[in-house]
Amino acid sequence: MRVAMIGTGYVGLVSGACFADFGHVVTCIDKDAGKINALNNGEIPIYEPGLQQLVAKNVAEERLYFTTDAKDAIRTADAVFIAVGTPTRRGDGHADLSYVYAAAEEIAELIEGFTVVVTKSTVPVGTGDEVEAIIRKTNPDANFAVVSNPEFLREGAAISDFKRPDRVVVGTDNEEAVKVMRELYRPLYLNETPIVVTRRRTSELIKYAANAFLAVKITFINEIADLCENVGANVQEVSRAIGLDNRIGGKFLHAGPGYGGSCFPKDTLALSRTGHDAGAELKIVNAVIEVNDARKKKMADKVIDFLGGDVSGKSIALLGLAFKPNTDDMRDAPSIDIVAKLQEAGATVRAFDPASMKEAGHVMKDVVFCDGPYHAIENADALVIVTEWDQFRALDLDRVKATMKSPNIIDLRNIYDTEDMRDRGFNYISVGRAY
Ligand code: UDX
C-alpha cells in the first residue's frame, strides 16, 4: 500500500515509520522545510527510544520518504493520514482544528482514484463529517472515504504501542475503506489484534473516552493517596489490592504529582467542552481537570511544608523535569508548577533531567541546569524526585547523603522504600505512604 502521512510531529513520525516497517511505502509530508531537511539527514526532532533506528532502516530500504511537496505522494496514495496537531484553542478549551481543515483542503485538490482519508489526530466528535464536507466542497468529483483511526501511543513506548496495540479502532461505514484499513494493519491482524470497526463519530469519541478514563483513574488514586497520608495507610498497597480485581485492573494506579503531557490535559479539556456543547455535562471529567490542576500546584506546598514552611534562601534540587520518563516533552509537566512556586517562595532551584533540559529552558526561568544527579544535589537543602527515570531509581544513597547539605528527600514518584530511607538517616516523604 502507498501511504501519505501529513504532519511529522510525534504521531505522524511514529505512525509513518511503523507503517513503513510493516512493508508499506510511506511519504511523510510537512510544511516545515527545516524539519524535513533534518529528517532527510537522519536527524529525529523528538526523543523517542528506537525511532532513529526505525527511520534509518526504512529510509535505507526505500520505504520511507520525507518531503515538503505533498503532490505526488497524495496523488498516488491509497490512504492519506492527517496527523497534524490539535492544540487547545486559546481561551476556551476547545481543540483547534485549523491544521486539520487546512490539510483536508490540500488533500481535496490532489487525490486521484479511490482514496481513504484517515484522521489520526485526536479530533472532537463530528470532525470527520467536517473533513468530508471540506473535501466534497473543494473537489466535488473526488472518490474518497473519511475514516477515523485514533492513535493510542504513549510517549517513550510509542513504537511498541503501535506494533503491539491492545486494539485498533477504525471508524467508518464504507466497506471499501475498511478493506484498505485492514490491509494497512494486516501484520497486526495476523497477530490477532482486535480491530474494532465502528461508525466514525463513535471512533472519535472512543479516543477521548479512553484518555479521560485513564486520567480519572490516575486522579482517583491521587486523591486516595492524600487520604492514605492522613489516615496512616499505604497507597501502593491499596493500588495493588484493588488492581488485582480484574474489573479494575492494576495499570494507571500509580499515585504521583498529577498527570501532564501532550494528551491528557488537552483531551480532558476538549472532551469537557464537547460534553457541555452537546448538552451532556461531564461532571467527572470536569472534576478530574480541576483536581489535577490543583494537585500540581499543591506539590510545591508539600515540599515547602516538609522544610518547615519557609524555603527562602534554600537550595532545592529537582531530579526529573519531563512529564514522564523516556521523553523530553515538557508540555504540562508538573515540574513547571513546582519550580515556579518554589522560586516564588524564595528558593533556588537546581535541576537535572536526562533528556528534557533544553525544552525545560523554554518554559522555566532561573533554574540551574546541572550535569547529573550528584551535581544537582550539591549542597542542596532538599531533593525532590519529580520524574521516575530509571537512572534515579538506584542512586548511590551514601553519596547522596554526603553531597547534600541536609538529607531531605521528597519522592513524588514513590521510587524508594520509606523504611529503608529512614534507616539510612534521610528525612524522607513520598506520596500516599504513611509507612
Ligand atoms: C497518553 C496515553 O496513554 C496514550 O494512549 C495516548 O495516545 C496519549 O496520551 P502519554 O501522554 O504519552 O500517553 O503518557 P502516559 O504514559 O499515559 O502518562 C500520562 C501522564 O500520567 C504522565 O504525566 C504520567 O506520569 C501520569 N501517570 C500515568 C501517573 O501519574 N500515574 C500512572 O499510573 C500513569
Atom number, ligand 1, closest to the C-alpha of residue 251: 33
User: Per-domain residue ranges for the chain?
Assistant: 2-198, 212-429
Q: Contact at 8 Å (CB) between 158 and 185?
A: no
Q: How confident is the model at residue 271 (pLDDT cuts 50, 70, 90)?
A: very high
Ligand 1: atom nearest CA of 153 is 7
pLDDT at 166 over 80: yes
Q: Which CATH number fits domain 212-429: 3.10.20.600, 3.40.50.720, 3.40.190.10, 3.40.50.300?
A: 3.40.50.720
Residues 302-316, mean pLDDT to the nearest whole number: 98
Look at ligand 1, atom 7, and give the residue with the nearest C-alpha: 152
Distance between CA atoms of residues 383 and 316, nearest Å: 6
Q: pLDDT tens digits for 192-246?
A: 899 999 999 999 999 999 999 999 999 999 999 999 999 999 999 999 999 999 9
Per residue in 118-157, pLDDT tens? 999 999 999 999 999 999 999 999 999 999 999 999 999 9
Measured in Å, residue 286 CA sits from the centre of ligand 1 at 18
Q: Which of 18, 28, 263, 370 is catalytic?
A: 263
pLDDT at 88: 85
> Ligand 1: which of 208, 214, 235 to mutate, judged by most atoms within 8 Å of the beta carbon?
214
Measured in Å, residue 320 CA sits from the centre of ligand 1 at 16
Q: What is the pLDDT of residue 189?
A: 79
Q: State the average pLDDT for the chain.
A: 97
Select from 240, 264, 299, 415 the residue to mutate for testing ligand 1; criterion: most ligand atoms less than 8 Å from CB.
264
Q: Which residues line ligand 1 (CB under 6 A)?
A: 151-155, 211, 214, 218, 252-254, 256, 259-264, 323-324
Cα–Cα distance for residue pair 251/218, rounded to 1 Å = 9
pLDDT tens readout for residues 338-354: 999 999 999 999 999 99
Q: Is 212-429 the same fold as 2-198? A: yes
Kindly tell me if the per-residue pLDDT of 92 is higher than 90.
Answer: no
**CA–centroid distance, residue 253 to ligand 1 (Å):** 11
Pairing of the two strands 64-67 and 25-29: parallel
Active-site residue flag, 263:
yes
Average pLDDT over residues 325-342: 96
Is residue 91 pLDDT above 80, yes or no?
Answer: no
CATH superfamily placement of domain 2-198: NAD(P)-binding Rossmann-like Domain (3.40.50.720)
Residue 55 has a CB neighbour count (10 Å cut-off) of 24
- Taken in order 178, 183, 185, 187, the sign of the CA dihedral is positive
Determine the average pLDDT of the residues in 374-378.
Answer: 98
Instruction: Please state the rounded mean pLDDT for residues 315-329.
Output: 96
**pTM above the 0.75 mark?**
yes
